Amino acid sequence: MKTIARPLKPHLEAARSVCAAAALLALCALLLLYRNDAASGVLTGLYTCLNTLVPALFPFVLLACLMAKSPAAGVLFRPLAPVMRHAFRLPPCAAPALVFGLTAGYPTGAKIAAQLYGDNRLTRAETARLLCFCTSPGYAFAAAYTGATMLGSAHTGLLLFLACLLAPLLTGLCLARFAEKPVRTGETPPPAGGVTRAVQDGVSAMVSMCGFVVAFSGLLAVLHGSGWFQRCAGLLARLGLTIPAAGTLLSFFLEVTSGVMHGAYWHAAPALIAFGLGFGGVCIHLQIFSFFRASGFPMKKSVYLLSRLINGFAAAACYRALAYFFPASEAATVSGGALSAAPTAGSAAASAALLALSVFFLLSCTEKGRLPKTGKRP
């Protein structure tokens, strides 16, 4: 059997290369034939980045980079050390990745995890397990943008946020049952980087995120203009779904912001939207893969995508349970038209994040002023 399997591998690689070349040629043809749709999609993606993603996420991405590079994170998250060790079987340094990943937004927790893994503060197995439950849309995107602005219901937005919060926590608790408790050792200090390195990392991560969103927005516009999106939605509808539900699922599979817009336009079931938010979309997953470009992704990407799919089903189930025990009332529903398109740009959470950044900057300057002449910390 071994002598038969070995010669087949080069043929499989050649077939994969031919398929990739054919897909690239097809994409080039679509871009040439539907260049106006592509341009319109790119403009839509730029608008989404400038009015939603950057105001809502950049303060938290910058704060996440500071948390991964600053010794102050060990002091701030020290009360969570027993929870991380006993409940999730992870070292205390993973606490910022979990907290910010579940509250601040999709790529924040993965960004911190990538930095911890690159600095050898987390093992390969710990990083792989952490990535399975440190990714969530966060309050700004799930509650304020998706619920209050797009769906017109603050109550629904809050339930979506809680569902996308509970699902990864349950996943992390289940995965911890198959892992050993980390050995209690002295906490490894983060490498020196300071505010300058954190800002550079944050800007780089934000530019990468916006680039992926713009690219997928253009791709979706081309697929819509060429009719391929409608054909794929029709194939999904043969499985028993309605056309709007199939289109919403397909949009969520590619890019989560477009999925939210599609779901709001077609009045999709909130549980379906919770599934899309829990899964995250290929665009988000490619962003997370890019964070590990230097150190290498710590697990099989197929296994990671399977974990995100399971997380999506768990988020939908959690939403149904929360909606059953906490049904919406008339007073809880608000009109989405009166809300700003970028509700988090001036929110209390973003202001608190900017205030925390200022504190970190002042502490960094103070530490630099106390350095002895030898250049070593006392």
How confident is the model over 103-130, as pLDDT tens digits?
887 878 888 899 889 888 899 999 999 9
Return the pLDDT at 77: 80
Q: Highest mean pLDDT: which of 140-149, 200-209, 231-240, 270-279? A: 270-279
250-272 as b/e, with b when 16 or more CB fall inside 10 Å?
A: bbbbbbbbbbbbbbbeeebbbbb
Return the pLDDT at 307: 94
Residue 145 covered by a domain: yes
307 by Cβ neighbours in 10 Å (0-12 / 13-18 / 19+) ranks as buried
Q: Highest mean pLDDT: which of 23-27, 93-97, 178-182? A: 93-97
3-state DSSP assignment of residue 333: strand
Q: Is the dihedral of CA 169, 148, 257, 356 positive or negative?
A: negative
- Which range of residues forms the domain containing residue 45? 32-183+192-364
Residue positions counted in the chain: 378
Return the pLDDT at 341: 37
Residue 15 covered by a domain: no
Candidate from 2-6, 128-132, 231-235, 238-242 with smallest mean pLDDT: 2-6
d(CA 54, CA 105): 12
Candidate from 3-7, 72-76, 291-295 with smallest mean pLDDT: 3-7
pTM here?
0.78
Band of pLDDT at residue 5, cut at 50, 70 and 90: very low
d(CA 102, CA 60): 12
Q: Which residue has the higher pLDDT, 145 or 315?
A: 315
Band of pLDDT at residue 361, cut at 50, 70 and 90: very low
Angle between helices 95-103 and 106-118 (to 10 degrees): 160
DSSP 276: H
Return the pLDDT at 111: 86
Band of pLDDT at residue 253, cut at 50, 70 and 90: very high
151 and 265 in contact (C-beta within 8 Å)?
A: no
Residue 305 covered by a domain: yes
Residue 334 covered by a domain: yes
Return the pLDDT at 333: 45
Q: What is the pLDDT of residues 37-75, one digit of tens each?
A: 888 988 988 988 888 778 877 877 777 777 666 666 667
Beta-carbon neighbour count of residue 243 at 10 Å?
A: 13
Over range 181-191, report the average pLDDT.
62
Candidate from 79-93, 115-129, 201-215, 359-373 with smallest mean pLDDT: 359-373
Return the pLDDT at 271: 94
Q: Which residue has the higher pLDDT, 356 or 107?
A: 107
Return the pLDDT at 258: 87
Angle in degrees, CA 7, 11, 12, rounded to 5? 110
d(CA 64, CA 3): 50
Return the pLDDT at 74: 67
Over range 169-185, report the average pLDDT.
85
Q: Which residue has the higher pLDDT, 208 or 192?
A: 208
Tokens 């954190």 belong to 198
Return the pLDDT at 120: 87
Q: What's the mean pLDDT when you consider all of the chain? A: 79
- Long-range contact set of residues 303-307: C-beta below 8 Å, sequence gap at least 24: 304/128, 304/131, 304/132, 307/131, 307/132, 307/171
Over range 245-259, report the average pLDDT.
90
Return the pLDDT at 130: 94
Tokens 């919406």 belong to 328
Domain count, the chain: 1
Residue 255 covered by a domain: yes
Q: What is the pLDDT of residues 319-341, one digit of tens each?
A: 999 999 998 765 444 443 333 33
- Report whether pLDDT(346) > 80: no
Band of pLDDT at residue 157, cut at 50, 70 and 90: very high
